[in-house]
Amino acid sequence: MKLTGSKKTRPAPVTLTIVALGDSTTAGTPGFKSPIEAPPDGEGNVESQYAFWLTKRHPGWRVLNRGVNGERSDQIRARFDRDVVRASADAVIVIAGVNDIYQGRPAQAVIAELEAIYSAARTHRIACIAGSIVPYNTATPDANARMRDVNAWIRAAAPRLGIVFCDTRAAVADPDDPDRLSSSPDDLHPSAEGYRRMALALEPAVASAVKV
């Protein structure tokens, strides 16, 4: 006899653990607070984070949102062991440096911290995807110049450092003005649609980094 009724949908098996490591543009600000900011599962509109969109497109990818609003690159680097290594990550997505720029720090200071993060990933044999710093609409010409310097370094250094570059800045930028966001609820962060576009840009970069 055949039984009728609803069947429980089994979750897809986890094939890849990815840590999204960064600041507010990883956390999902302003629409979402990450699990670090609002334990244990985060709080707000889940669509306002690129981690959500990556998982939606790849149910077997466990993407851990480890973004913290307002953190500089040195503060993000200090969390690498706790948030990436201890998670037994297969891959880490690193987007950091905008708060350093916002606070007036030189591009070279950001570059030194990013290189240390990338080096830590290599030491622990964790595939690394390096995203570019995304724009914010209130940035001064000097801030934009420093962001461009950092992003140009990431792009050029990626092959030498054995990491995969992803132009997350281009993914969320206004096509007519690359120094502004295409859509933003607060002039500082992407909209939910912007985070979706970040995920679309990151998806092939992650696949390339882990050879899937």
Confidence grade of residue 211 (pLDDT, cut at 50, 70, 90): confident
Confidence grade of residue 10 (pLDDT, cut at 50, 70, 90): low
- In tens, the pLDDT along 150-173 reads 999 999 999 999 999 999 999 999
- In tens, the pLDDT along 93-140 reads 999 999 999 999 999 999 999 999 999 999 999 999 999 999 999 999
- In tens, the pLDDT along 54-94 reads 999 999 999 999 999 999 999 999 999 999 999 999 999 99
Task: Give the per-residue pLDDT at 13.
Answer: 74
Domain residue spans of the chain? 16-210
**Concatenated DSSP letters of 177-190:** EEEEESS-SSSSS-
Does residue 4 register a pLDDT over 70?
A: no
How far apart CA 16 and CA 209 sit, in angstroms, is 12
16-210 is classed CATH 3.40.50.1110 = yes
Q: What is the largest CA-CA distance in the chain?
A: 74
If DSSP codes are grouped into helix, strand and coil, which group holds residue 133?
coil
Q: What is the dihedral of CA 28, 138, 178, 202, to 10 degrees?
A: -10
Task: Give the per-residue pLDDT at 12.
Answer: 63
Query: Would you state the structure tokens that stand for residue 34, as one six-digit string?
Result: 């990450």
Confidence grade of residue 205 (pLDDT, cut at 50, 70, 90): very high
- Specify the higher pLDDT residue, 167 or 12: 167
Does residue 8 register a pLDDT over 80?
A: no
Q: What is the dihedral of CA 124, 128, 134, 139, to 10 degrees?
A: 40
